[in-house]
Amino acid sequence: MDVNGLLRALDGAVQLVRSDPADFIAHLQTHLELSGLALLMGVGLCFPLGVLASRSRWVSLYALNAFGIARAVPSVAILFLAYPFLGLGFQPALLALAVLACPPVLINTNVAFRAVDPAIREAAYGMGLTTVQVLSKIELPLALPVVLAGVRTAAVEVIASATLATFIGAGGLGDFINSGLSNLDTSLLLEGALPVALLTLTAEIVLGGLEMWSRQAAGVPRG
């Protein structure tokens, strides 16, 4: 496709959004809900699990291996694996995406908490901080940058993979991409693909910024 063709397709995409903004916004909203909820579920499950894994050999062995295997399965396969058990629609897609969000969060949380200098922990306990205080006031601020890096990876993966949710009828921006592809309609394809690209970029930038802030707060401005 030449440049003019691409510009026409872009223009077409803008026209599509303008002609039915409600439809576009509904798809965008589904996409955001799917990704946001999946990320929340992934972090909600895997952050605590990662902290546990950092202190227990058993949790670490089983959880990390289980999600390690999950990570090896392509995201589209996870979506289709969810289908026979959970049927079609929003919920199975959400679950599959949540599973997808897990490995980076789990792995990074585990590594981040393990990386806290044992001397710092010993000093903290030795001064009479409670377990909860050591975790929240000492370990968490120090582990946060690496945890957030995991969340960032997970967010980008989930937003991108949420486009596949269309295949099990969960909607989202993937609908546009899918019909655009099957109808050879580049404008329709772009109506889905461009917002997805913008969303992943935004997630990358926002979470990257948070990560940098947390690095400053942890007293490790570089690296």
Partner 1 sequence: MPGISLDNVVKTFGTDDGSAPAVRGVSLAIEEGEFVVLLGPSGCGKTTLLRMINRLIEPTSGQIFIGDREVRDFPVTDLRRHIGYVIQQVGLFPHMTVAQNVATVPRLLGWKKQRTRERTRELLELVALPPGEYLDRYPRQLSGGQQQRVGIARAMAADPQIMLMDEPFGAIDAITRSDLQQELLRIQRKVGKTVVFVTHDVEEALLLADRIAVMRTGELVQYDTPLALLSHPVDDFVRELLGSQDVLRRLSLLEITALMEQESGMAGTTQVPAGTSAREALSLLLGTGADRATVVDPQGRPLGTLTLDRILREARAAPPAPG
Tokens of 116: 């806290």
- The CA distance from 12 to 15, in Å, is 5
- Interface stretch with partner 1, choices 8-16, 102-110, 127-135, 149-157 (CB under 8 A): 127-135
Judged by CB under 8 A, the number of residues near partner 1 is 21
111-147 core/surface letters (b: 16 or more CB in 10 A; e: else) = bbbeebeeeebeebeeeebeeeebbeebbbebbbbbb
**Which residue in the set 133, 179, 194, 200 belongs to the binding site for partner 1 (CB under 8 A)?**
133
Site string for partner 1, 141-180 (x = CB under 8 A): xx--------------------------------------
Please tell me whether residue 223 binds partner 1 under the rule CB under 8 A. Answer: no
Provide, rounded to whole angstroms, the least separation between the CB of residue 194 and partner 1: 40
Among positions 101-120, residues that touch partner 1 (CB under 8 A) are 117, 119-120
Residue 93's nearest CA partner among 26, 34, 31, 36 is 34
Q: Which residue has the tokens 């546990």?
A: 52
CB 170 within 8 A of CB 90: yes
Q: Which residue has the tokens 């989202």?
A: 172
Which CB atom, from 32 or from 210, has the smaller least distance to partner 1?
210
Please tell me whether residue 135 binds partner 1 under the rule CB under 8 A. Answer: no
CB 54 within 8 A of CB 110: yes
C-alpha distances (whole Å) from 130 to each of 110, 133, 134, 160, 201 are 21, 5, 6, 41, 40
Which CB atom, from 144 or from 155, has the smaller least distance to partner 1?
144
- Interface stretch with partner 1, choices 29-37, 82-90, 98-106, 130-138 (CB under 8 A): 130-138
CB 208 within 8 A of CB 152: yes
**Which residue in the set 73, 123, 197, 205 belongs to the binding site for partner 1 (CB under 8 A)?**
123
Which CB atom, from 58 or from 85, has the smaller least distance to partner 1?
58
**Which residue in the set 1, 22, 72, 127 belongs to the binding site for partner 1 (CB under 8 A)?**
127
CB 175 within 8 A of CB 192: yes
* List of residues contacting partner 1 (CB under 8 A): 117, 119-130, 133, 138, 141-142, 217-220
